[in-house]
Structure 1
Amino acid sequence: MKKAVWLTFDLSVTGDYEGMYTWLANHEAIECGDNVGFIQYDSSGDLINELKNDIRENVDITKKTRVYVIYRDDDQKVKGSFLFGKRQQAPWTGYGSVPEGEAVDEL
């Protein structure tokens, strides 16, 4: 079943951009801004594990690689999670007047 997926990626300066770009091109990704692509991913089961394995087979993943996926689950909730890497301090930290809380990656 095809699922709508947005991928954001930060591969660092020396990351495997050629591998990522080839993977995105092969999945007919639509460009959505710097390092953001939209694809219709054909998944037969666990979307997150399938994406993770597919990307790992085609892109050289390092400890600096960060790939985040946004998708709708089977209950139609919008979710997001890191396939590789983890959350870092946001560049806008300290600019707002609202106290920071825990991040919610589910709507």
Structure 2
Amino acid sequence: MEKAVWMSFDLGVRGDYEGLYAWLDSKKAIECGDSLAFFKYDVSEDIVESLEKEIKENVEINKKTRIYVIFRDAKTKKMKGKFILGSRKTAPWAGYSGSQEQTEEEEL
């Protein structure tokens, strides 16, 4: 079954962009802005596990590799997002609104 997938990627300065771009090209992905792609993915099992496995087979992964996918969950029919490689980091806009709680550090 084909599933629509949006993929955001950050491979760092020395990441394997050629490997990822070749893989995205093989999926006929379309560009949706800096480091964002959309493609249809044919999958019959867990989409996250399948994407992670396929990307690891085609792209050289390092500790800075971050890939986030957005897709419709087959069971709940709701949109979901998940890091398949890497994890979330502090947003560059964190603190700009001035409404964030300030925590006071104390010496123990």
User: What TM-score comes out, normalization by structure 1 length?
Assistant: 0.90
Separation in structure 2 between the aligned mates of residue 6 and residue 31 of structure 1, nearest angstrom: 10
Displacement after TM superposition at 1:50 (Å): 0.3
Shift of 1:60: 0.3
CA RMSD, Structure 1 to Structure 2 (Å): 1.1
Over the matched positions of the two proteins, sequence identity in percent amounts to: 55
Q: Write out aligned runs for 1:7-22 (5 A).
A: 7-22=7-22
Query: What stretches of structure 1 of length at least 5 have no aligned partner?
Result: 101-107
The 5 Å alignment of 1:4-83 reads: 4-74=4-74, 75-83=76-84
Alpha-carbon separation, structure 2, partners of 1:60 and 1:96: 38
Q: 1:96 offset after TM fit, Å?
A: 1.3
For residue 76 of structure 1, report the CA deviation from its aligned partner.
Answer: 1.3
Structure 1: which 4+ aligned runs deviate by more than 6 Å?
Answer: none
Q: Distance in 2 between matches of 1:60 and 1:80?
A: 23
Find the counterpart in structure 1 of residue 87 from structure 2: 86
CA deviation vs aligned residue, 1:20-45 (integer Å, no higher than 9, x gap) = 00000000001000000001000011
Aligned residues: 100
Normalised by the length of structure 2, the TM-score is: 0.89
